[in-house]
Structures are given as C-alpha cells and as structure tokens.
A and B are shown apart, each in its own frame.
Chain A
Amino acid sequence: MTLPDMSRRAMLVKLGLFFNGVVAVVLAVPILRYVLSPVLGGRKTSYTSWLALGPLEQYPAGQTRFATFRNPDVTAWDGKTADSACWVRRIDTAKFQVFAINCAHLGCPVRWFPQSGLFMCPCHGGAYYEDGSRASGPPERGLFEYPYKIEDGKLFIQAGELPTPGSPTALVNIGEKFPCA
C-alpha cells in the first residue's frame, strides 16, 4: 500500500464522517422540533380561550363554591385528567375570585372550609384566607387566580395550564415568549 493511497482513504473517511454529520444535523432538526413541541408554541390559543363555569346563580354571593371545567387542550385518551377543578368565590354581584385548586407551595389540591373561612392543603400544611392570601404554612404566596369574565349571566375563566410557583398565572404564553427573550 502506498502513502498517497492512504491519505486518499483517510480523506474519504473524513468526507464520509462530514457527510454523516450533515445528515445528522438534517435529522436533528425535525427530531428536536418534535421533542420540544410542548414548549414551541402551536397551542398558544388555548391559554386565552374562555372556559364556561356555568350560570352565575350557581355561585351565591359571599360564598365559595367548588367548580370543575374541561381543559381547552385535550386528547381522546386523557380520560378524567382532561378535567380540572377550581374554587369560585363570589364577593358580590359582579365581583369574583377564581382560585386554582393547586396549592401555591407544591400543587396539592386545597380544600375550602367555610366554617373557619380557610383553604387548607393536605400535603405540607399550607393555609389560605378566603381571599386566597397566605395564612400560614410553607407557601410563599397566596393561591393562584384565574382571570374571569361574566357574559350572558355566565361565568368564564381563562385556564388550561397547570399553575406552578414558577409560572403562576394561567396566562403564560409559552409559545410567544421565549426565555431570555
């Protein structure tokens, strides 16, 4: 085997590797796009759609009631997990507060106790007053609130995203707002 022949083969190996690298990049683009689909938009309209919580008569003034709704983005195989729950506090005729069911600490479902006027969390002992403000326990903030509107005597909220301490509103438009942007 002669030396020029060797370098020719070595060059062919390098060329082959480069060719494979290019193909890898070409393949990586759709794969990454697929893997990152939950965060790269495409669904953003759902966060701003209004979800019906039923007629206003269901919510007597001065009281806090349990309500459920179906999330805007669902698949046929979501089963019951397509549903979510919230607490609706009617302050007076037109003023409401709609609290997410999730504790602001780590997301466990809080329960309303009308007798003591407190929301209590069964997990780590967070407690909130009737207006959702923090009363005691590990939460660093009050309960998460969903934006609401009243139309045709019905209550609507904007929900559809699991509220978490790092993304506390239901209106984080992931698709529109990149981190660091």
Chain B
Amino acid sequence: MQSIGEWLDARLQLAGTVRETMEHRVPRDTSSFFYVFGSAALTVFMLQIVTGILLAIVYVPSAGEAWNSLQTLNHSVPLGWYIRALHGWGSNFMVAIVLIHMVQVFLFGAYKFPRELTWVVGIFLLLMTLGMAFSGQVLRFDQDAFWGIGIGASIASRVPVMGAWTVHLLLGGPIIAGATLSRFFALHVFVIPGLLIAFVSLHLLMVLKLGINEWPMPGRIVRKATYEKQYHELTASDGVPFFPGAIYKDIFFTGCILLALAVVAFYFGPFGPSGRPDPTIIQTAPRPDYFFLWLYALLSLLPPEMETPALLIGPVVVLLGLLLLPFIFGEGEKSWRRRPVAVLTILLVAVALGTFTDLAGHAPWSPVMDAWSGDPIPATFLEHRTALERQGALLFQLKQCHNCHALGNEGGKRGPALDNVALIQTQDQMIRQVIQGGGNMPAYGKNLSPPEVTALVAFLRTLHPAAQMPARDASREVVNQNAPAGQPF
C-alpha cells in the first residue's frame, strides 16, 4: 500500500503540498464550533453535485416531459424519491448554512483587512446559491414553477427600457415554454455550478493564503499596517495545526449536518411536483419555495407605487452595501461586543425576514378563492336571525365576500374580519362601503341590487357581541323624530 502511495506521489508530487495545507497553523481559538459553517456548506454543495448528477440520469429537461420524468423519479425508479428529497432538502440546507456562515463572518469581523476579497467572492457565492435555488425550482417545472417564472418575468419586465428584452432573454422566447426550461437547465446544470466551483476554489484559496480569521477580542483593533504581523505572531505563539487541531470539529459538524439532511429528506420526502405545468389550468395558487417566501410577502405588502422602485433599486442598494462593506469598514474593532450596530443590523434583518416568511406562510393578502363555496358561516352568526338577515348571509357567500372577509376565523383575511363589524360601522357607513368600496375594497354597486344591499347590510348589522349595541348614527334619531309621521328612516 505504501509503495503504491510512493509510486503515485513520485509522479503527482502532491503529498508535500497537501501536508503543508493540512498542517498549516491556525489560531488556537478558531478550533471552534463557530468556524464550521463554511466547510459544512462546501460538503452540502458536493452532495448537491452528486445528487444532481444522479437526478440528471433520469430527468428530462423538456417542457413536455420534465413533469412526467419527476413522477417517474418519485414513483417508479427505486429510491428516486429519496434522491429528489436529498437534492431538494440539500438546497434548503445549503441556503441556510450559507446564510449562517455569512452572519458568523459578519459578526466576527472576518471581512475586514486583509480578507475583503474573500468576503466579496462570498457575496457572489451567496448570489449563485440563491440562483441555484431559484433555477432548481424552475426545473421542477410544475404549476408553482411555471407561474413562478411568470413572476420572475413580470419583475424583470419592469427594468426601464430593457424590460421586454430582458423577459425574452430570460424566457428564451415570447412565452414560458420549452426554450425557457432548456435555458434554466443550462444555467442550473452548467453555468452556475461551473461558476460556483471556480468561486469556491478562489474563496478557499484565499482562506488558506490569508489564514482563517482569528477569534475577535474586544480591543484588538485591526490596522492595515500592523495586522498581518500580529496575525503571524498569534499563529506562531498560540496556533495549532489545522489538521488535526481544528478540523475535527468541522468533520464532526459536517457529519451531523449530513445525517440531519438524510433524516429530514427521508422523513419529509421530496418537494412536489405540484400540478402539471398547464397554463390553461388556472385553479392554482402558486407559492415560491421557502427561501423566497419573504419576497412573496414583501411583494404583497409594498404599496403599489413603491413596488417597481423597490424591486429595481432595492437589490442594487443591498448588493452595493454588501460589496462595499469591507472597504468602508476594513479596519477597527472585530468583536461583536464592540459593534452594536452590526449586531442590531443582523437582528433587524433576521426579524424582518422571519416575520415576512411567517406572514407568507398564511398569506393574509391572498383571497381564499373557494371560501365562498367551501367555508361555512359559523352557526352562531346564523341563529335567531330573520329571513332578511339570513338572505344577507347567503349573499355574503354568493358574492364572494367570504373570500376576503373572515367570519369566526373562517374565510379570507384580505379585508378585515367582520365578526364585530356592526360595532365599527353604522348602517349608512356599511351601505356606502358595500356600494362604493374603497380602502382597498372593490365597489359592489353594479353587482348588488338595492334589495340585495338591504339584505346584506341587515346581516352585517347582526355581527356584534350580544352584550354590545351596534354602532349607530346619533343624528339619525333626531332626523327620525322630525320626520313626518309614518316615514321614519
């Protein structure tokens, strides 16, 4: 065995370099479970390559056949479902680990001198990872994917002047069809992975050449003039060889991540595919994959007039900020204990993304398209009601009010829940609101006859707690008192 090794090394001449790389000295503090996310991301990426190739053996990148080939993978090819699950969950794991890695690097000040370029390359790696996540979702080519590309195209179309061009270039033609899938296949399988491999190599090379970021100590200030000398003194005086001094934690953590991935993939199974990508089947409510849910929420909640600027300028600002960060704050404190703004930024971004993602989970801005026919009005809202009021309840269903307004927590949440609406609006206000709409509600004047409005409002007037009186217009009583006998309002 040893002689084979020697024979090989006599020709490859790699053993020295490998040994040198593995045993290069790193600061003792960096042998830490905070320093394992980069290697975990790399391992998951390698697993993605393997499972991706395995899927490509069966997958057919054709708009007409992709969906069928996924069904074959799911149901006919032995363990095809598991490879799909590994690849799909691997993608989620990878995005998550890359983000955690980025947060760690940011909080530990690792982007500062002399590691600016490592950070910049890392930003491109993040973009590519997200690009892989999106293009992978497209390759699933189900209903969600189909309409998801449409959303991508609609966003791209808002680019000034070049909008229509961009869309055609993205779709490979005027519509989402065979050419679209083929070019996303090329992106997902050749272009982005190729770039990823190149950039990961560059990223790793820089980590090796510049040394891993030392554990930040409050008060240990980074200065361009002195940093490198200090770093070398640190690794010399208080360093350990990377192998085995630090790598064992990477190995242990990577094992845990791979095991977690294997278990999660086994337990939850593959993603979809959802319905067939048929543009004539419109009974669908497309949702993006997990890591784009926050964007889905943002696009629903932004005021319409802010949307296009936010979509076009927002990403540029964020990207520029990330790219310029190490050049603006290349020196100074590294420790998060002395960088409150950095910590608050992370918290703010995390809370914002978390909130948006959570909101997207129940999508209160989407009408529940079948609430009018599928969700019942709870019985408490119908008991002891007059015929007119029940007629109103019927209209509430028939006119799709329920799609946007909840009663007893059933139905849409696009508009306010109406459980207690009679406390808030007087009869006149209700009539006006129903007929004229406003405040993001369509006007129903054309689609409700006067008797229908009367019935609907009669029902709405019953929506208040038993112990509380409905809202009333005090002036009405005076008007009624002064009205000729027999003609009160």
Contacts and interface: CB of A to CB of B under 8 A. Distances in A.
Interface of A: 36, 38-39, 43, 46-47, 66, 68, 71, 73-85, 101-102, 105-111, 113, 115-118, 120-125, 127, 129-130, 135-140, 160-162, 164-167, 172, 174, 179-180
Contacts of B296: 123-124
B345 to A, nearest CB: 28
B153 A107 contact: yes
Nearest to A80: B278
Nearest to A125: B365
Contacts of B305: 140
A67 to B, nearest CB: 9
Interface in B169-227: 169, 171-180
Given A108-B147, A111-B369, A123 B286 contact: yes
B12 to A, nearest CB: 31
A163 B279 CA distance: 13
A125 B167 contact: no
Contact of A108 (B151, B175, B442): B151
B24 interface: no
Interface string B25-63: 000000000000000000000000000000000000011
B168 A38 contact: yes
A166 B444 CA distance: 30
Interface residues of B, number: 73
Contact of A83 (B159, B278, B284, B285): B278
B285 A122 contact: yes
B294 interface: no
Nearest to A71: B175
A125 B366 contact: yes
B169 A36 contact: yes
Contacts of A80: 64, 276-280
12 contacts: A81-B180, A101-B282, A105-B299, A106-B154, A110-B282, A115-B398, A116-B399, A136-B442, A140-B304, A166-B157, A174-B165, A179-B161
B174 A136 contact: no
Contacts of B282: 66, 85, 101, 109-111
A153 to B, nearest CB: 24
Contacts of A109: 147, 279, 282, 284
A102 B151 CA distance: 10
B412 to A, nearest CB: 9
Contacts of B441: 136
A161 B171 CA distance: 11
A78 B155 contact: no
Which A-B residue pairs are the 7 nearest by beta carbons? A79-B64, A166-B157, A166-B163, A164-B157, A135-B442, A107-B150, A167-B164
B299 A138 contact: yes
Contacts of A166: 154, 156-159, 163-164, 166-167
Contact of B437 (A81, A82, A135, A140): A135
Contacts of A106: 150-151, 154-155, 299
Contact of B150 (A108, A139, A160): A108
B341 interface: no
Interface string B353-381: 00000000000011101001000000000
B147 A161 contact: no
Contacts of A108: 147, 150-151, 286
A172 to B, nearest CB: 5
B447 interface: yes
Contacts of B307: 138, 140
Contact of A165 (B154, B180, B279, B283): B154
B403 interface: yes
A161 B163 CA distance: 14
Interface string B378-422: 000000000000000000001111011000000000100000000
B64 A174 contact: no
B199 to A, nearest CB: 22
Contact of B178 (A46, A81, A130, A167): A81
Contacts of A110: 282
Contacts of A165: 154, 157-158, 308
Nearest to A131: B446
Nearest to A160: B174
Q: Which of B62, B153, B156 has the most CB of A within 10 A?
A: B153
A122 B369 contact: yes
Nearest to A66: B282
B481 interface: no
B161 A79 contact: no
Q: Which of A82, A85, A166 has the most CB of B within 10 A?
A: A166
Nearest to A87: B282
Contacts of A39: 165, 168-169
Nearest to B147: A108
B427 interface: no
B300 interface: yes
B65 interface: yes
Q: Which of A76, A85, A108 has the most CB of B within 10 A?
A: A108
Contacts of A121: 367
B440 interface: yes
Nearest to B183: A38
B318 interface: no
B164 A162 contact: no
A164 B167 contact: yes
B403 A120 contact: yes
B96 interface: no
Contacts of B444: 116
Contacts of A164: 153-154, 156-157, 163-164, 167
A123 B172 CA distance: 25
A107 to B, nearest CB: 4
B317 interface: no
A144 B163 CA distance: 16
Contacts of B157: 164-167
